[in-house]
Amino acid sequence: MKLGAARSRAPTAWRLVDIEMDKESSMFIYTLNRQKLRRVLLWQYYIQLVAVEEAFKNLKGDLAIRPVFHQDARRIEAHIFIAFLAYCLQITLQRRLHALAPGLTTRSAVEKFAAVQMIDVHLPTTDGRELLLTRYTQPEPELKLLIQQLKLQLPPQPPPKIAPAAVARAI
C-alpha cells in the first residue's frame, strides 16, 4: 500500500526507480535507474531547447521585433529590453490562457485584442482651445467573453483634456 501511495504521489520519480523484492528476507531493494534518468534529463533539455527556439521565432514573428541596426549602445540595450519585456508578457499571457482558456493560443488571443483601437479625437472649441478625447473602441462580444474568461478588466475611458490650440497641435 505504501508503494502504491508513493507511486501516485511521484509518478515521474517512480519510473526512475527499480524495485525488487529479496526472496530470502522479504525486503524491498531499490536502485536508481541511471540510464532512464539520463534519458529524462536529455528530454527535458530538448524541451527547453524547443522553448528557446520558439521564443526566438515569436520575437521575430508574432511580436514583430526584427533586427534594427542601432548605432548607440544605449539604444541597443533598450531594444533588447523591450524585446525581453514583450516576450515576458507573451509567456504570461500563454500561461494565463493555459489555465483559464485552454485551447486558445497566444497568437489568436493577441489577434482578438488587436481589434481594440485607441484613438484621439481633437475637437476645437469656440475660444481657440482644443478638447482632446482619448478613447478606445468597445470590444466585440467574443473579445468581451475572452476578457471575462481571463479575469481582466479594461480601464475606464480617460477623462477629456482641454489644451490651448498651440499645445494641442504639438501633441
Number of domains in the chain: 1
Percent of the chain with pLDDT over 70: 90
pLDDT digits 0-9 by tens, 44-81: 999 988 887 777 777 667 666 666 777 888 988 888 78
The DSSP-derived string for 116-160 is --EEEEEEE-TTSEEEEEEEEPPPPHHHHHHHHHTT--PPPPPPP
Pick the more confident residue, 39 or 51.
39
Q: Is the pLDDT of residue 90 over 90?
A: no
Out of 10-19, 63-72, 122-131, which region has the weakest mean confidence (pLDDT)?
63-72
Question: Is 17 within a domain?
Answer: no
Residue range(s) defining the domain that contains residue 127:
117-170
Question: Is 148 within a domain?
Answer: yes
Question: Is 92 within a domain?
Answer: no
